[in-house]
Every structure is written in C-alpha cells, then in structure tokens.
Homo-oligomer: A and B are copies of this chain.
C-alpha cells in the first residue's frame, strides 16, 4: 500500500500535535522520506506544502525542514493540564512514573522478597533513636557504606574502603556530583553514542563541552575515542552491558582506556547499572576491578536490583578525590534520609541481597527466553537481534525502515513503555528499533498477550514503508 500525500500530511500533523515532534525538531529531507516510503518526491512535497501552509512546519532552505519553532502546541489552561499539553516525548510517556508494561530497568515486581523486605522495613523504622534524628553524615549511613564495600568486593571484584563510598539518590545525582566535584569549566566530557537516554539529556544540560564516541560490537570504539577525544577529561561509559546495545567492552579496549586515563589524567566514569545480570557465563568483573591507577570513578544503583522507589545509588571515589567530593557535597548536596539507608543496610548485611540477586539472575534469563520466543512468533518479519549475554532489556532492531519513533508511539498507546532506539543516538549514524524491558514478563501467555496488542498497527506502519 502506497501512502498518498494526505496520509503523510496526517501522520506528521499527529506527531506534531501529540508532541512527539517538538517545535524546532527536524523532519526528514523530502528525498529521504520519498525513498523510505517508496513514493514520488512530489507526493512528499505536497504533504510538506500543506504543513507549511498551516504553520506546522517551516522550510529553512539548506538547514532543512523543521517543526515551526514558534508553534504553541496547545493553550496551557491549568497546571494539571499543562503536564500533558506542553509535552515532549519524555513528558508524554511519563517515563519515570510507575505504570506500563515492558518498561526498562524495573526489577521483577512479582518475585521480589516482599515479606522479608517489609519485616526489615518495620524493624528499621522502629529502631530510630533520638540522636539519629539530626543530620546524618553527608556521604551516607556508616553501616550501609560498610556493607556496600563488602558487597562490591565480592560481587564486582572492586576493592574499596567504606570511606570511598558516597551514598546518593541515584544516577542523576551521581553524574552531577562527579562533574561538580572534579570538572573545570569547559572540560571535555565524552559519552557513548548511542548512550543512556536520560544520561544524554542530563549531560546536554550540565556539560558545556560534550562530545560523543561511537559504539560497535566490542563496546566503545576506543580507536575513534583516542583519535578524536584524546584530550577528554571525562568519559562516561557502560562497559559491562552497553546502554542500550548491551555489548560488553572487550578486555583489550578496557586496558586501552585505562592506559589513556593514566597517561592523560583522564577520568573514566563507569556506570555499572545492571552489571549483576549476566547469564551465560561468569559475571564480568567491573572495569573498576582493573583500575590500579585509580582513574575509574564507579557508579552504581539499587534501582535495578531492589526498587526505583528506594532511591539509593552510590559513587566509589578514588582516594585522592574524596576530599573534593566532600567539600562539594557539603555545599551543594542535601544528603539522603536515614530510614531507606537503614533498611538497605540490613538487607545487605543479613545476606538477603545476595540470595535475591542470584534468584533474579536465573529468573531474568528465563524471562528473556520467553520474551524472545514471543517476539519470534509474532514479529519475525519485523525485528532482528544481536544478542549478548546479559542485561535487563532487548534491542529489537527494525529489519527495514527508520520509523521507530512513530512505532514506539503506537506501542506506548497500548501501554507498552518501549523506547525508540534512534532517540538514544546523538551524532553517530542512527540505527532503528525498539528497546524493550522483559523483567516483568510472567509467562509465555503474558508475553503474547502484551505483544499482540500493537501487532496490527505495527504491520500497517512498517508495510506502508515497502
């Protein structure tokens, strides 16, 4: 089925009205879209002409066609409505809120050791003593820092003292605190491309000199990095399971990066967000475990292993940097509440965490198999995979076409909170597909039920491109 100019017009108008394309966003070049949709250039030109006439888009000559930067998508009439009305893609999805299936990075809610957790929570809550009501040490509750140091040694091969740990409320604070403690204004910061969706957004906001380095089958392309970003001061990477491609940084590349950091006084920020979940062979030790020159700043979170609502993350500070983190922290950070730290430290030190992680490792491996089976059954013509050994999500690459943004919008309409892969890219040649979480898939039937919902519309969209 070939699309007419009216269909193209309607599709883009919807994308703009719903906020999936925002004021200032670029539209595909006429030639590219015509090829993609297998229609005559004239057809796309006609659709664009109507959109220009109605003020949705503007043509800026060599700079291409964009959504009208002055467009007010809809009148904001009340604070509550504003939340939806003035929304970009992340606002619409409310990606950080609680609902929806196939979400990324959410632990298996049905298999969480609830009884044990609630028991410890009640115990911790009742253990408050008057002297604990005052400000607690900024870098975290001492027993938690001790339990964390011991956990990191055993599970991730990292040797550090409790004094090297800074307990935070998660990824965003980790990154902010690292840059605010150690970066000079305009220090070059390099991120993986593609890279963590929310990490990109954050760094675009707080790093004034941000660059990207592409990722291939062995993780970050260290050749490219050393050629173009030799002078970087920070490189922020996900070596164990690259986010989102899930590839692991090869050992030679790890050593190349460590050597670069030592020689250039660079800092490697290792984001080990789901390093616990590796299935088909021995768990990969953290890059930090090879870091004899103390150039790696390791960051972790309990959002993936326990629950996001706990809001506990941490930084492993190289010894020489502790004082700088401390000084900056005392000035800009408010610190974490005591009670969640107490609960977590009990859960860790009583051994429940290890048991839990071990169970989840097996469970997630099974659920991934179930998810892949259901995807094969329903979508074998649509997606292909480049499977790796771990993680908490699958990247389903599109076999053809580039329309992963409208595709994700369709899935989201069915309450499947997947991400379009292309939105994780910044400058590198984009790839297209969906990023899906599978940790809460309870059975084959459950997977099929969920995946069937957007099937018809997916086929229509993808086949419109043939």
Q: Once the chains bind, are A121 and B131 in contact (CB under 8 Å)?
A: no
Query: Complex formed: what's the CA distance from A106 to B336 in Å?
Result: 17
Q: Is A83 an interface residue (CB 8 A)?
A: yes
Query: Complex formed: what's the CA distance from A138 to B83 in Å?
Result: 12
Q: Once the chains bind, are B133 and A309 in contact (CB under 8 Å)?
A: yes
Interface stretch, picked from A198-206, A235-243, A250-258, A402-410, is A198-206
Q: Is A461 an interface residue (CB 8 A)?
A: no
What chain B residues lie within 8 Å of A132 (beta carbons)? 98, 309
What chain B residues lie within 8 Å of A184 (beta carbons)? none
- By secondary structure, the A interface counts as helix
What chain B residues lie within 8 Å of A284 (beta carbons)? none
Proximity bits, A300-339, B CB within 8 Å = 1, else 0: 0001000111111100000100110011101111111111
Query: Complex formed: what's the CA distance from A169 to B110 in Å?
Result: 30
Q: Once the chains bind, are B172 and A98 in contact (CB under 8 Å)?
A: no
Q: Is A186 an interface residue (CB 8 A)?
A: no
With an 8 Å Cβ cutoff, the count of chain A residues facing the other chain is 79
What chain B residues lie within 8 Å of A137 (beta carbons)? 97
What chain B residues lie within 8 Å of A76 (beta carbons)? 323
Q: Is A61 an interface residue (CB 8 A)?
A: no
Within 8 A of B (CB), among A89-128: 90-91, 96-99, 103, 106-107, 109-110, 112, 114, 117-118, 121-122, 124-126, 128
Q: Is A80 an interface residue (CB 8 A)?
A: yes
Query: Complex formed: what's the CA distance from A304 to B127 in Å?
Result: 21
Q: Is A231 an interface residue (CB 8 A)?
A: no
Q: Once the chains bind, are B334 and A90 in contact (CB under 8 Å)?
A: no
Among B118, B173, B322, B337, which residue has its beta carbon within 8 angstroms of that of A126? B118
Smallest CB separation, A144 vs chain B (Å): 13
Query: Complex formed: what's the CA distance from A83 to B323 in Å?
Result: 7
Query: Complex formed: what's the CA distance from A234 to B305 in Å?
Result: 42
28 contacts between A and B (CB under 8 A): A79-B319, A79-B322, A80-B163, A82-B323, A83-B163, A91-B330, A96-B138, A97-B134, A97-B135, A98-B131, A98-B134, A98-B135, A99-B131, A106-B134, A107-B133, A109-B131, A114-B128, A117-B128, A135-B303, A169-B335, A169-B337, A170-B335, A172-B333, A173-B334, A309-B339, A311-B335, A313-B334, A337-B340
- List A residues at the B interface (Cβ < 8 Å): 76, 78-80, 82-83, 86, 88, 90-91, 96-99, 103, 106-107, 109-110, 112, 114, 117-118, 121-122, 124-126, 128, 130-138, 161, 163-164, 168-173, 176, 198, 201-202, 205-206, 303, 307-313, 319, 322-323, 326-328, 330-340, 343
